Amino acid sequence: MSNTKNFHMTSEEFRRQGKQMIDWIADYYETVEKYPVLSQMHPGEISHQLPLDPPSESESMEQIMSDVNSIIMPGITHWQSPSFFAYFPANTSGPSILGDLLSSGLGVQGMLWATSPACTELETRVLDWLAEMLQLPEKFKSTSTGGAVIQDTASSAALSALLAARERKTNYQTNDSGCLGNLVAYISEQTHSSVEKAVKIAGIGRNNLRLIGVDEKLAMRTDLLEKAIEQDLVNGLVPFFVCATIGTTSTNAMDPLTEIGHICQQYQLWLHIDAAMSGTAAICPEYRFILNGVELADSFSFNPHKWMFTNFDCNCFFIADRSSLIKTLSILPEYLKNQATESGAVIDYRDWHIQLGRRFRSLKLWFVIRNYGVNGLRHHIREHVRLAQEFAGWIRTSNDFELVAPAPLNLVCFAHKKGNDFNRKLLETINREGKMYFTHTIIKDQFVLRMCIAQTHTQAQHVLQAWETIIKTVSELTI
Amino acid sequence: MSNTKNFHMTSEEFRRQGKQMIDWIADYYETVEKYPVLSQMHPGEISHQLPLDPPSESESMEQIMSDVNSIIMPGITHWQSPSFFAYFPANTSGPSILGDLLSSGLGVQGMLWATSPACTELETRVLDWLAEMLQLPEKFKSTSTGGAVIQDTASSAALSALLAARERKTNYQTNDSGCLGNLVAYISEQTHSSVEKAVKIAGIGRNNLRLIGVDEKLAMRTDLLEKAIEQDLVNGLVPFFVCATIGTTSTNAMDPLTEIGHICQQYQLWLHIDAAMSGTAAICPEYRFILNGVELADSFSFNPHKWMFTNFDCNCFFIADRSSLIKTLSILPEYLKNQATESGAVIDYRDWHIQLGRRFRSLKLWFVIRNYGVNGLRHHIREHVRLAQEFAGWIRTSNDFELVAPAPLNLVCFAHKKGNDFNRKLLETINREGKMYFTHTIIKDQFVLRMCIAQTHTQAQHVLQAWETIIKTVSELTI
């Protein structure tokens, strides 16, 4: 006999709680500036307020939201504050939150075309739109030999590129035989740590990763790249992969794509381009030059979840020859076979990344592109670059600070002339105060402050406030 | 001069559109049964309705939602339909959608403890709750040597386990030196394809993966496992990893954990347990026995996004010795250094998985556990098992059908006695009709129908309707 009692939230309750949550979120954005940007909690302070055991019986949404307000909120570092200048951003926006909500509601798992054709076909189309917006070469479009897929992060995209490169170089034999210890990959000293992580994961080994030196702009030196490749060839090793970066994490350095691309062609190396944050700038014609040379690449990725106002996670990974990726990652057990897959007429995105299951992530991207319009997106990117350049100007004309690296777009790396200890103290003091949050890097033993101006809601006044906070804190620390 | 024009959705508009979206979702769940469960679209039908170029100017949410209704909805396969019996489910629920919405709204990126202490500390606590709910041994709790992390999928969890196993076996040298081609992993013929994929990704090579034969219940034969290990040792290879499954994808087979665990201890192999769907059952004391032997495992994972009413993606990956995982995946570039990390007093979850960035996924899990209560969750799991057992009973007493595998929980594998062609036709006819959606597998050359009864909203009437649809279609096909 069926037990009719059930513990599911009713439709009425969902409507009521959902609308309250929407208001909660709108209120949050209206008041986000009242919070310290960097959470001021100490280790364990949140934990100690959470019960040790799960509740046996149902608790109301009111109880839960009350704990969100009192326990969780003090433990939030506010990535959506307009005074968040740390790392690279992880932006949201109205249309993105709504697209993500629709995705949660539909609860589609798009591992195969058949498990929701719209999930696959919308993704393919929106990524072709992005290829157009970034003026990527035709080969990266689904209508040509390539195509694209939404991955979670640039880390996973880099790993996927590395694996496809590994297989292409070894005639797709490494998947069967395992690594042989002779493949060599190349990055610059400034390349993101995710590529080193990928090299370890893929069984290549860190000893087979060459960190190529950089020039005064912190971009990869192609003379050193070529020298390293030649040396490895002499030693009987097999160079197979280069990752070039457009906008390094530390300083927004731009590796010379065209020169690197020619070297890759000459030595038959896979060229992957990581443009995680800066790639977004290329949707503005005047910044499109940063991708000159991308036509020589085998794969390219950037993160709309960084600078294109689309909720994490949303990395777009473009590949020039999709068959190399699919041959590398495809698995087809019986329980996933279906007529559509067997027809060959469809894309099954589960063969394009590490995971099998996947969310309907193109909805949020579609919502963002349509609700902003390409010109709307361009407007905000230009505004961020303008504000960053203004800030860089203040640094240049300041007597106390110096620019430590070129600031080609929206990341400004600078340091007070009083040296590392002072800069570290300056950073920690300001972040502890909570009015803004920024982070650091180290360049040639110098402790460097990073201001990344790219948060959805950052406006002129926030950058000005940040500068005033910095000036004021310097004078307080100097007394 | 600042340009004050902006293209961001206003707060008022977000409130209005957000509330409409909540109503849209509630309406969707109220009417989900009117849609064909499996989308009836043909390849390209969605695509052809989508513009080739992105819009230059902003489009209204009304326009976008109108396209959702007319273009996207016909291309949805309804994973949230109570008549979805295919694959394993990817469930949502009211509290989960709300928790996910809060996560989208807060837009926290929790790669480090410092980038939102609440994101890390809530995750740790909720996973300790789950360890308690599943009665996992102490070693899997954060208060002991181990701990847990939310990963996207069981595929990524298996890869993480495999990597930690690879490093532990080679004294953490493979990360540096690369794979040497001598490590061997073991799974059963019925293990999920994700482990084979992980073996390829990790550079182990498919030739070093042994597919161990299964017994009449389709569970791994430990005599064959031991024999394979012995043979590999004789050949100078290095056995290092076994993945045992609790609830295989094809038939819900249960590998004998205790026997496998003892073999792993004897030969010093890492034991990973994949309990992606069935693990959830262990929160009911009467089904907890399925995890007997988990105390011998090094790692364990299950997916609340399958059977625990929590939105995709949400895999919970437990590890007995967290240091082995962290040593394997840790990377600490300068730009991620911070005081909290250096103090050693905090968890930085970016060292626990492949990716760097991460969403605040514990919110939805916390919302689900609290809003259902542990007893509420148990109620629905029991109800699903009861319905599946009832369905299995109908098969057993039917003259036309036979059970093809034991149905220990909520997956029923069966076949009509008329053979493969008939069963294939039966499946395709029913799925094309759209009243329900189920999928198949092949067991010893037999085409087998799979009914997985685990969708959040599936009730007695839906299972009865499914059975009636099957009977009716059989008689129509038999005329």
Q: What is the pLDDT of residue A343?
A: 80
Which pLDDT value is given to residue A340? 82
B116: distance to nearest CA of chain A, Å? 5
Smallest CA–CA distance from B117 into chain A, residue: A75
Cα A468 off chain centre by? 30
Query: Does A371 sit within 8 Å of B64, measured CB to CB?
Result: yes
Q: Measured between CB atoms, does A28 come within 8 Å of chain B? A: yes
- Nearest CA distance, B259 vs chain A (angstrom): 27
Distance CA B201, CA A406 (A): 38
Distances in Å between the Cα of B4 and the Cα atoms of A134, A383, A459, B60 are 26, 10, 9, 21
The reply to whether B19 touches chain A by the CB within 8 Å rule is yes
Contact (Cβ atoms closer than 8 angstroms) between residue B341 and residue B348: yes
Say how far apart CA A14 and CA B80 lie, in whole Å: 15
CB contact under 8 Å between A8 and B250, yes or no, is no
B contacts of A178 (beta carbons < 8 Å): 179, 181, 183, 203-205, 207-208
Find residues 31-60 of chain A whose CB sits inside 8 Å of chain B. 38-39, 41, 43-47, 50, 52-60
Which residue positions in chain B have pLDDT lower than 50?
1-3
CATH of domain B374-478: 3.90.1150.10
Contact status of B135 with chain A (Cβ, < 8 Å): no
Interchain CB distance below 8 Å, B8 and A457: yes
Closest CA to B242 of B292, B169, B304, B306: B169
pLDDT at position A421:
97
User: B192 to chain A: which residues are within 8 Å by CB?
Assistant: 333
Best mutation target among A179, A249, A464 (most B Cβ atoms within 10 Å) is: A179
CATH of the domain spanning B11-80, picked from 3.40.50.1000, 3.30.470.10, 1.20.1340.10, 2.60.120.380:
1.20.1340.10
CB contact under 8 A, A334 and B250: yes
Q: Give which of B115, B136, B218, B464 to mutate to test A binding, by max A Cβ within 10 Å.
A: B115
Q: Which of residues 383-442 of A touch B (CB under 8 A)?
A: 383, 428, 439-442
Note the pLDDT of residue A4. Answer: 62
C-alpha span between A380 and A389 (Å, rounded): 14
- How far off is chain A from B89, nearest CA to CA, in Å? 9
pLDDT in tens, A32-66: 999 999 999 999 999 999 999 999 999 999 999 99
A178 close to B207: Cβ distance less than 8 angstroms: yes
Q: Chain B: give the shortest CA distance to residue A266, in Å.
A: 26
Say yes or no: ipTM exceeds 0.90.
yes
Question: Which of A283, A308, A13 shows the shortest CA–CA distance to A136?
Answer: A283
A169 close contact with B: CB closer than 8 A = no
- B121: nearest CB among A47, A60, A125: A47
Asked if A102 reaches chain B (Cβ–Cβ under 8 Å), the answer is yes
Comparing CA positions, the residue from B265, B263, B243, B267 lying closest to residue B255 is B243
Q: Is B270 on the interface with A (CB under 8 A)?
A: no
DSSP SS3 for B178 = coil
What is the length of chain A? Answer: 479
**Whole-Å CA distances, A394 to A443, A458, A460, B49, B112:** 21, 18, 13, 50, 31
Checking if the pLDDT of A1 tops 50, the result is no
What pLDDT, on the 0 to 100 scale, is given for residue B1?
38
Q: Which of A78-92, A142-156, B23-37, B328-342 has the lowest mean pLDDT?
A: B328-342
A278 touching chain B per CB within 8 A: no
Instruction: Please tell me which of the candidates B5, B93, B156 has its beta carbon nearest to residue A9.
Output: B93
Is the confidence at residue A2, as pLDDT, over 80? no
Contact B205 A174 (CB under 8 A): yes
CATH architecture, domain defined by A108-359: 3-Layer(aba) Sandwich (3.40)
**Could you give the C-alpha distances from B473 to B48, B387, B404, B407, B429, in angstroms and in order?**
33, 21, 20, 23, 8
CB A240 within 8 A of CB A164: no
C-alpha span between A178 and A199 (Å, rounded): 14
pLDDT, one tens digit per residue, over A198-233 is: 999 999 999 999 999 999 999 999 999 999 999 999
**Which residues of A, range 227-256, sit inside 8 Å of B by Cβ?**
249-250
Nearest-Cα distance to chain B for A360, in Å, is 10
Chain B 292-331, CB below 8 Å of chain A: which residues?
Answer: 305, 311-313, 328-329, 331
The minimum CA-CA distance between A101 and chain B, rounded to whole Å, is 6
Residue B437: strand, helix, or coil? strand
Average pLDDT, chain A: 96
What's the gap in Å between the CA of A267 and the closest CA on chain B?
22
Integer CA distances (angstroms), A149 to A160, A353, B198, B200, B276, in order: 11, 8, 20, 21, 25
pLDDT of amino acid B4 = 62
Residues 172-231 of A with CB under 8 A from B: 174-181, 183, 192-194, 196-197, 200-208
Q: Are the Cβ atoms of B193 and A156 closer than 8 angstroms?
A: no
Cα–Cα–Cα angle for B64, B26, B460, nearest 5°? 130
Question: Could you write out the three-class secondary structure of B272-289?
Answer: EEECCCHHHHHHCHHHHH
Q: Do B312 and A359 touch (CB under 8 A)?
A: yes
Task: Cite the DSSP H helix spans in A213-321.
Answer: 222-234, 257-267, 304-307
Find the Cα–Cα–Cα–Cα dihedral B323, B325, B329, B331, rounded to 10°. -20
The nearest CA of chain A is from the CA of B14 a distance in Å of 6
In chain A, residues with a C-beta closer than 8 Å to the C-beta of B122 are 46, 50, 72, 75
- Rounded to whole angstroms, the Cα distance separating B59 from A360 reads 21
| Residue A332, pLDDT score | 81
Note if the bond before B313 is cis, omega within 30 degrees: yes
User: How far is CA A477 from each of CA A424, A442, A449, rounded to the nearest angstrom?
Assistant: 12, 21, 16
B180 contacts on A by Cβ (under 8 Å) = 181
* A43, A91, A122: residue with CB nearest B50: A122
* Structure-token pair, residue B250: 């094809």
Residue predicted with more confidence, B1 or A271: A271
CA distance linking residue B378 with residue B283, whole number of Å: 7
Quote the minimal CA–CA distance from A141 to chain B in Å.
Answer: 12
- Mean pLDDT for A187-194 is 96
Shortest Cα–Cα distance, B224 to chain A (Å): 22
Question: Which has more pLDDT, B462 or A1?
Answer: B462
> What are the residue boundaries of the structural domains of chain B, listed by start?
11-80, 108-359, 374-478
Residues 64-93 of A with CB under 8 A from B: 64, 68, 71-77, 79-80, 86-87, 90-93
